[in-house]
Amino acid sequence: MTIKILTIFILTLLFLPALVPSSNALFDRKPTIRVAIIRQNWDFLDKSLTSKISTLIHTYCLKMEAKRYDVNVKVFEFWDSWNHGDVQSGKLRWKRIDVVIAPGGVGGWFTPFRYRHELRKYVRRGGGFYGICGDSTFGSLGVKHMNVQYNALITRLLGYNELSPMLGLVNVYTDASALQSIIKNPKYFSTLNMIQFLSRLPISRGRIHVHRTFPPIQEPYMGSSVRMMLGNAPLVAGPISNNLFMPKVITIASFQRPDKPYDRDIKHTKAIVASTYGFGRVVLSPLHAEFTVGNRKAHDIYIRNVLWLAKELPIVNT
């Protein structure tokens, strides 16, 4: 009997490591945040090499910065075509996604109804939505100070037949007046001009002022200034009447000192905002905090936004 027990014990020691996951997931009590980066086949920027680089940078930044907060991050990349895809099939729900990151681009200008419907439903039921750069417009009410010439310019440059509604998750607009000094004459603004504008953004560094807010999403930086890579035009407040039925907008940060290609007209406009939508949370940022190379503060602001959206940020009374 003793030999049998000893044999079983030795076999258990030999085969137990093969049965237990190498990551020790069964014993890992750290929360795991499931993040989906959403992309669209109708967005020519998403179909380019830059989207692959973008996903790698997002993934690296999320995983590296999450270590400081003792959480795990699992990153997915979701793709949609016009009539079907990951978002439209309900994958956000059955993959148990905590935060959607809309990383920018031009796809948000023209989207199918079901795509918008699924995203709104996902946030309303408790999900988090992080709209960055061009997708800060997608998560907003739309664009302010954009006349017929600008509409015609966008459809011509992007090849869309029309422009669709935005998600309307937060009571803010993108302020197109910030682009007037860049797009002096919409009639003659070409694809080459747009590429030149986009190529200046990675080396830009605008200075933002981080406000004191409640909840204190960016608590370590409140009252200070941080330099970040610029992106989309800034955000401005939506109609006051919307405050009767839309949640309060929290201005996390405002532009303090812009950089090329923008001018000083964007000073004091909204650089990062947060709000709620149903049971979910929303952050909109014209800035690329995650792409701000060499600035750990910017990367920390990025991950703190993601953690707040996932309801995993260690702050009190949120």
CA distance 46 to 269: 28
Determine the average pLDDT of the residues in 278-294.
97
Asked if 122 contacts 92 with a C-beta cutoff of 8 angstroms, the reply is yes
Residue whose pair of structure tokens reads 């600008």 in the numeric block: 150
Position with higher pLDDT, 164 vs 28 = 164
Q: Per residue in 151-180, pLDDT tens? A: 888 888 888 888 899 999 999 999 988 888
Strand partners, 272: 253
Q: Tokens for 225?
A: 């200034």
Share of the chain above pLDDT 70, in %: 90
Place 255 in a pLDDT band, splitting at 50, 70 and 90.
very high
pLDDT band (50, 70, 90) for residue 37 = very high
Helix (H, G, I), strand (E, B) or coil at 312: coil
pLDDT at 2: 53
pTM: 0.89
Contacts with 185 (C-beta within 8 Å, 6 or more apart), sequence order = none
Please give the average per-residue pLDDT across 57-77, as a whole number. 95
56 pLDDT above the threshold of 90: yes
What's the pLDDT score for residue 155?
A: 86
At residue 150, the pLDDT reads 77
Residue 192 token pair: 């080459």
Task: Flag whether pLDDT at 318 surpasses 70.
Answer: no
* H helix runs in 228-295, sequence order: none
pLDDT at position 153: 85
How confident is the model over 99-137, as pLDDT tens digits?
Answer: 999 999 999 999 999 999 999 999 999 999 999 999 999
At 213, phi and psi to the nearest 5? -130, 165
The mean pLDDT of the chain is 89
Q: Under a CB-based contact definition with an 8 Å cutoff, are residues 202 and 292 in contact?
A: no
**Interatomic CA distance for residues 186 and 115, integer angstroms:** 30
Half-sphere exposure of 89 (CA within 13 A, CB side): 10
**Confidence at residue 266, expressed as pLDDT on a 0 to 100 scale:** 87
Using alpha carbons only, what angle is made at residue 130 by residues 164 and 300, rounded to the nearest 5 degrees? 150
Confidence tier at 185 by pLDDT (50, 70, 90): confident
CA 126 – CA 277 distance, rounded (Å): 8
Spatial distance between the Cα atoms of 297 and 235, rounded to a whole number of angstroms: 22
> HEC string of 7-44?
HHHHHHHHHHHHHCCCCCHHHCCCCEEEEEEEEECCCC
pLDDT score for 14: 40
Domains of the chain as residue ranges with CATH: 28-309 (3.40.50.880)
Q: Which of 3-12, 71-80, 138-147 has the highest mean pLDDT?
A: 71-80
**Token digits of residue 236:** 């401005």
Confidence of residue 22 (pLDDT cuts 50, 70, 90): very low
